[in-house]
Structure 1
């Protein structure tokens, strides 16, 4: 019994259990992608026009993508503190929105609703910084795969939460806001102490590391396929509450299958450690202490080197690509500026499309039940885009030295097709557009995060990857609020004028017809195409870097640590 208890403690403290805990936190970090489901409730309950709703959507995107604060906090505080801040912000922001929509508090001003959703959405950056950045640092040589998987689970979170709220609350989108408030907060609190940066439990790197991630991938693909099938069936057949509960149970079981994989891998490590200790004299805690001393010494040496020169003096004198840039060196580099512009065009357009899906379906005459399926399709294919870009770009880069930015170019070109299908709709085209936009939107994020880690190093990754996605809310504001929202309202006012009415005559401004989004999505397609051309510049600039062995540094560091550990142990003398 004592041995079993020690093994349980080993599992909970292990790297693979930390990966599983990160998966669960990522499942709760995609609430922003459900905005298309409950935005209609906000619009009708509070009497907003489309421009005001899109303004709220912009502040949602602003909060979701401005994660510099969480990055800076993570540089000076432990991971558990970052996760707890995110948990509190998530509950506070979305709970206030739920109170407003259900009429339990007085109707808030527009700026207050913007503040609430910005706070709630910003919490996902704390989850990302706490879980995602930690996993990348724990598995630096599998970063593309790790980013694809973790961001893939974020993409699935919308479909997972939809199944859970249907089982718990029934078909009530107001209650979905309540679920978004408490569930992600609870997940972060439960697993707050299991996610932290750690070295491998065994002195040598696990040789089957990539194989384990593929096992996680297979489980997640099965979950995504199940959600997609349920999404189709639930639109064709009327489900009872018990049937929804059954679907949610299956989803929960599939979510916890990775725990079995994590326990299996930790058991292998446990057996290896026991076998090693039965042969070697020094106990494991001494080896761990030596390893920590080596890492601490290395960090101290790096810090002393940095203190020799001010960061302002070296801002325009960056190291070679792949080395650890300072924050200023990275932000002022031409590579980051090109990446920023491509992201502004690509993610800004994709966010605009996702946020307007509910109104797009309504304007083209799709029934309400079908409109919610568009959001689920985006969520599921968002997942496929993320894992595809993570795993495939990693394979292409390692095997054939294909620059990762080249895949971003192809993804942006694919996104153009989705925007054009909405601009010039045919029967059923919104289904196809939802799949394309969801896939391309999902594929962009792991590529962005991986490129930043590869070009600028991991030392300040917590801050840099959050800085990199700042382009997303800026693009969303320009394209969603100033373009799509204004053009939609203009078409809706034209329809009112044809009926002899004005804006004061109706509570909710609604546009029906193919012209509602034609001009705006044609503009989005052009902007995304421009972003693809910009990303090609980064491909040209980094092609020589990607032809080299970008993971060589991490292998050399690991080998040096193993050598020092061997020399420092009595058996290594």
Structure 2
């Protein structure tokens, strides 16, 4: 589910592009206006659809999940096809409007699936309501077990509140509910933070500089725009792939989820090297690889945090885990890539006999502009992959066990 939800976030860039072209055409100044009003308007309209639901397992939940997944895949493929066609053909305003209408219809298809399932569930509840309730010994035993577990958890919570700082070094086993301080000071979290700093920091740097990379290598403006859409679309595929495939490998083969992160970071290294040592069309491949690797890291990070440190303080730990991403982006992007790019641009000005004050913006042209920065990014990302291997070794025993057993016991599922 993390991969699916984050996948739609990954598609958002390509989706907004279609809406922007349909509403404003090629007026680039209106893009900021669209970003300002569209998300706010959607939030106001759909805020009333949010409901609190009891955490019940449904017999056909996997089938419904696949339906959501198929819809999202079709949407991603359509956006990629439109990205390719728009580069070859000059679209009219009506054509862009038709494309945006198709995207809008696909976005609302999951709503139809949800309404259908709610209707089926409502009918089943009405049928069950007409039958006399049967209070079996098994049901009574499950109710008693849940009450006892609830009381025990309340006692634990009271003790935790009293001794939050005292128990900071007395950490529970992996998979149990850590306190915020216990999680933040654990070696597993520090390793995960370092790997995220290297991996996501490098990926964000690459994505942020993609436009200038295309410009420095002499790609036309229309092609550079397609790079951004490719990153967004393959960002989706990375998010869905890492969440879905890592879960399958974990359930079937007990493969530690951090190992999947190692593979993703090694793949990101390849994308960085394609920019550092470019050839004809290499930025196309680099944008696909970097988009995929960037998207794949996020669901893995969030899933690993939930599995190692429990769900009690998940929302806080979720956001703490993300702090490594902007920190890594700032250091690798601003302090390293930006400075080295400016250094190469200044060297070009010096060769032309021009002063820095004579130009408004530093522009560097040629393969040398991003060679050194992306060699550094590749090295940093490779170091992150090695760090994640340490986490693989530390959590190998934990992932070889049944990590979902306690959740099945809580809900009375065998």
Scaled by the length of structure 2, the TM-score of the pair is: 0.94
- Counterpart of 2:34 (choices 169, 172, 179) is 179
Q: CA offset at residue 302 of structure 1?
A: 2.2
Q: Paired residue for 1:194? A: 49
Cα deviation digits, residues 316-352 of structure 1 (max 9, x gap): 1111111111111110110000000000000000000
- Counterpart of 1:275 (choices 104, 124, 127) is 127
2:49 aligns to what SS in structure 1? coil
Q: Paired residue for 1:305? A: 156
| 1:116-515 → structure 2 map (5 Å cutoff) | 146-195=1-50, 197-200=52-55, 205-280=57-132, 301-308=152-159, 309-515=162-368
Distance 1:276 1:318 in 2: 45
The runs of at least 4 aligned residues of structure 1 exceeding 4 Å deviation read 293-301
Distance 1:374 1:504 in 2: 32
Distance 2:297 2:356 in 1: 39
Q: CA offset at residue 295 of structure 1?
A: 7.9
Q: CA offset at residue 197 of structure 1?
A: 4.9
Contact in 1 for aligned 2:269/2:381 (Cα 8 Å): yes
Number of positions where the alignment pairs a residue of Structure 1 with one of Structure 2: 406
Distance 1:464 1:264 in 2: 35
Distance 2:260 2:133 in 1: 50
Distance 1:159 1:546 in 2: 36
Verify: 1:535 aligned to 2:388, yes or no. Answer: yes
Q: Paired residue for 2:139? A: none
Residues 273/330 of structure 1: CA separation in 2 closer, same or farther (3 Å cut): same
Q: CA offset at residue 192 of structure 1?
A: 2.2
Verify: 1:526 aligned to 2:343, yes or no. Answer: no
Residues 274/556 of structure 1: CA separation in 2 closer, same or farther (3 Å cut): same
Cα deviation digits, residues 239-295 of structure 1 (max 9, x gap): 11111000000000011111111112112211210111010359xxxxxxxx9x998
Cα deviation digits, residues 214-240 of structure 1 (max 9, x gap): 111111000000000000110111111
Residues 399/219 of structure 1: CA separation in 2 closer, same or farther (3 Å cut): same
Distance 1:296 1:503 in 2: 72
Q: CA offset at residue 310 of structure 1?
A: 1.0
Cα deviation digits, residues 510-551 of structure 1 (max 9, x gap): 111111100000000000000000000000111111111111
Q: Paired residue for 1:15? A: none
Q: CA offset at residue 305 of structure 1?
A: 1.9
Q: CA RMSD in A?
A: 2.1
Q: CA offset at residue 177 of structure 1?
A: 1.4
Scaled by the length of structure 1, the TM-score of the pair is: 0.68
Distance 1:480 1:280 in 2: 65
Moved more, 545-554 or 518-527: 545-554
Q: CA offset at residue 167 of structure 1?
A: 0.3
Q: CA offset at residue 298 of structure 1?
A: 5.7
